Structure 1
Amino acid sequence: MRKLVSLSILSVFVMSCASLKPNETTQAFAEEPIRYIDLTADSKMDLIERYWVVIKSADPKYPVDAARRGLSGCVDFIVAIDSNGTLSGFKIKKSYPEGVFDKSAAAALNRWKWSASKDNIENTPVLTTTQLNFMVSNSKNKAETEKQCDFSHI
């Protein structure tokens, strides 16, 4: 008899859960997706100043192995800045030499903070690009670094 009562109660509970519409259970947890303005195209790179200004940046730590080997390079990121001026995500667009500086550059980028410009009164989230450079004197890969990282001031 106890098993029958327990089974009946369990059946009623399961049926009541099954009768809920999907929106009734998921709506409370659904977040509105962030809509970013895409400023990643070369023609739009200068527009970032209309939206966000870097107020805190962090220099990346130079990987010891790369310094010993005399390697210079860069990591170019696609960066998502949310409405609070914080990094909400990133993707490595390109790095040279591939993988050598990625971890150090990402750790530094995670400490960056932005402030909305006076024109960005709605704190509009954006996607933009930024490049972190790694330069060592007497670089063994200077010529290739200048070419790959698009700078000549090593």
Structure 2
Amino acid sequence: MKTYFSLSIAAFALLAGCSQLPNTSTSNSTDALDLRDNKNAAEQLWILKHATKPIYPKAALIAKQTGCARFVITIDNQGNTIDIRFVESFPEGLFIDVSRESLKSWQWQASTSNSESQAIIRTVQLDYFMKEAVNIDAAKAFCTI
């Protein structure tokens, strides 16, 4: 049985040219820019340097389930992933624990446009794909794979 895992963040490429970052609010608790609704701006500031691939859950393999899990994370000024907050998943509850465990070790590198290493809050989605999944159409719709 062949399974695939993909990160639904295109953090490996910077947008070409200069662009103005949107006016964003700042979180009082961490002094981080809140970019959870602005993936492009988040990707202009931090590039994913290291991502640990989560283990496909055994229950999902047995049940032939594919899906995703969404989290809001904070990237601190050192490039560490902190404050990992679960948002939603499909199927409900299936991919949360393995995703959270993986996210704990993600490391980020400040881009050249983030020379001061400004901490940010952003949304990330981890996708789990199995070609033989019985719920592939519903997963594609929910996860926008």
TM interval, short-chain normalised? 0.7 to 0.9
Equivalent position of 2:33 in the other structure: 37
* Alignment gaps of 5+ in structure 2: 1-27
- Report the TM-score, using the length of structure 1 for normalisation: 0.73
RMSD (Å) for aligned C-alpha atoms: 1.3
Q: Hey, what does 1:104 align to over in structure 2?
A: 98
Determine if contact 2:64/2:132 at 8 Å carries over to the other structure.
yes
Equivalence for 1:15: none
Q: Which residue of 1 is the match for residue 127 of structure 2?
A: 133
Structure 1 alignment gaps of length 5 or more: 1-31
TM-score where L is the length of structure 2: 0.77
Per-residue Cα deviation, 1:84-119 (whole angstroms, up to 9, x for no partner): 000121111110111111001111111100011111
Aligned to 1:68: 62
Higher strand content, 1 or 2: 2
> Quick check: which one's helix share is greater?
1
Q: Percent of counterpart pairs with the same letter?
A: 26
Specify the structure having the higher radius of gyration (Cα): 1
Give the deviation of 1:49 after TM superposition.
2.4
If asked which structure has higher relative contact order (CA below 8 Å, sep 6+), I would say 2
